[in-house]
Amino acid sequence: MAACSVEELLAKAEEEEKEKLKSITVHKDLELEFDVGNLLAVDKNRIDSRDVKSAKKEDFLRALARDNTQLLINEVWKLPTERVDDAIVATLPEPTTPLPREKPPPKPKPPTKWEQFAKLKGIQKKKKTNLVWDETAKEWRRRWGYKRAKDDTKEWMIEVPETADPNEDQFSKRTNAKKERVARNEYNKLKNIARAQKVKIPGLGLTPKEQQSKNELTKAVSVAKTSTASAGRFQDRLPKEKRAKNTGKKRKFEPLIGDFSNERQKQLELLKVLDSKKPKLDITKAVNKQMREEDREEAAAKRSKGAGKKGRKGNVPGKRKGKAGKAQGGKRRGKPGKR
């Protein structure tokens, strides 16, 4: 019994080994169509529907895929090969089957402002070599970057020009000039990107457009006024000009740390006002309020008196319009109610 079981195990192992090491020769009724450039194989052989619907559907599909893949690999090995780092590589030909793209092809980049100018003037780009001869170091060095030729940043002394200020720091001047060049290049790069994407570049003042709105004009005027040395403090205002928004005094807050004597004094005064039974009287405010009320009453009385006289004049009988009436009554001086 044990011997039979061993023989069965050996036979099963041999079958599994044969299953793994199948022959590379595959027989098909119809030859497959190959596109080796795309690693594509098209099998036009008829498939029996009973094999697909049977219980061994997965085994059938696995065997079919294995045979077709074997035929495709056989076609790949027919191509010219070469050895690269202990690996055999086959050179694939150009694909013959056009495959659809998942996404549309990228659009060509629009030309920059300089490229448009160069095309208009017929300027052709010349390729420069990366290495140039450095007379100071007496060797070939890179044109740009680290250890470049004619690197003026390594100089420990700079000659002051005759027209420059002798007290000016030439090292800081050179550093600031480089920062300005970098910022200018970055700004031009952003402008090219905005022009390519058809995005309007925002401006501080008046952005060029066909028609400006009232808010844009007001903002442009305020920016122009505050661009003076005095920040617009001594600029005259136009007639009927309104004050620009967000230009008033900013609120000042007490510091959170430090001397708290002012805060304590304010809190004590507030408690004193709350504890007192009589409200605190501001004499100046009360006097001003009383004066305004008196002026308002006097102006109302004058208006009512002038209105009454004007009404009585219209109700007087026997008066006619014309030169005779004017001659009799004469000209009236001043406004009604004011003599």
pLDDT at 327 over 50: no
213 compared with 41, residue with greater pLDDT = 41
Q: What is the 3-state secondary structure (H, E, C) of the chain?
A: CHHHHHHHHHHHHHHHHHHHCCCCCCCCCCCCEEEHHHCEEECCCCCCHHHHHCCCHHHHHHHHHHHHHHHHHHHHHCCCEEECCCCEEECCCCCCCCCCCCCCCCCCCCCCHHHHHHHHHCCCCCCCCCEEEECCCCEEEECCCCCECCCHHHCCCCCCCCCCCCCCCHHHHHHHHHHHHHHHHHHHHHHHHHHHCCCCCCCCCCCCCCCCCHHHHHHHHHHHHHCCCCCCCCCCCCCCCCCCCCCCCCCCCCCCCCCCHHHHHHHHHHHHHHHCCCCCCCHHHHHHHHHHHHHHHHHHHHHHHHHHHHHHHHHCCCCCCCHHHHHHHCCCCCCCCCC
Can you give the residue ranges of every domain in the chain? 4-88, 128-157
Q: For residue range 127-147, list pLDDT tens digits in order.
A: 888 898 988 888 999 888 888
* pTM of the complete model: 0.32
pLDDT band with cut points at 50, 70 and 90 for residue 202: low
Q: By percentage, how much of the chain surpasses pLDDT 70?
A: 82
5 compared with 72, residue with greater pLDDT = 72
